[in-house]
Homo-oligomer: A and B are copies of this chain.
Amino acid sequence: MAVKKTFPEIKASAWLNSEPLSIEKERGKVVLLYAFQMLCPGCVTHAAPQVKKVYDFFSRDLLTVIGLHSVFEHHEAMGIESLKAYLYEFQYTFPVAVDNQTEGNPLPDTMTMLGLRGTPSILLVDKKGFLRSHLFGRVEDLQLGVELGVLLGEK
């Protein structure tokens, strides 16, 4: 018998704007995981402002927003000092995990584990800890709102 697995924990080398978070401890809330690169145009111009809007819209008791900086190109251009400056300048205050990079691997660890296709990606985890949506690329506010509404309305 197959057993559906809950969402795994993020493998981070550092956390910004927050103490390290555990997905498991967020049970009872919806979790929005936003995988990005700070120099990815779709992230910078659309997805990041959208995630900020979501973060500002909901009570922290209902929804947890986590950024995941999954760098897979231009590594030297997107180090942690650059990321810190980016978050500071754009006033992004939601928690951000720096995806761990195991030496010799082509992609960072959480990205590999989750099977992300690239950035931006938005993953939605329901109150019971199961992955319910895996969105890649540009997502309209209306669609993201509907998906969040469905999950938030569940008991």
Interface string of A49-63 (1 = CB under 8 A from B): 010011001000000
Do A145 and B149 form a contact, CB below 8 Å, given A78-B85, A82-B78?
yes
Query: Quick check: A146 and B145 within 8 Å, CB to CB?
Result: yes
* C-alpha spacing A118/B41, complex, angstroms: 23
With beta carbons under 8 angstroms apart, the residue of B45, B76, B144, B149 that contacts A147 is B149
* C-alpha spacing A39/B91, complex, angstroms: 12
Interface size, A (range): 35 or more
Chain B residues with CB under 8 A of A39: 82, 85-86, 89
Q: Which stretch (A10-18, A102-110, A135-143) binds chain B?
A: A135-143
Query: Quick check: A89 and B41 within 8 Å, CB to CB?
Result: yes
The chain B residue with its CB closest to the CB of A87 is: B39
Query: Quick check: B146 and A152 within 8 Å, CB to CB?
Result: yes
Which of A41, A84, A143, A146 is most buried by chain B, counting CB atoms within 10 A of its CB? A146
A contact set with B: CB distance below 8 Å: 39-41, 44-45, 50, 53-54, 57, 73-74, 76-78, 81-82, 84-86, 88-90, 140-154
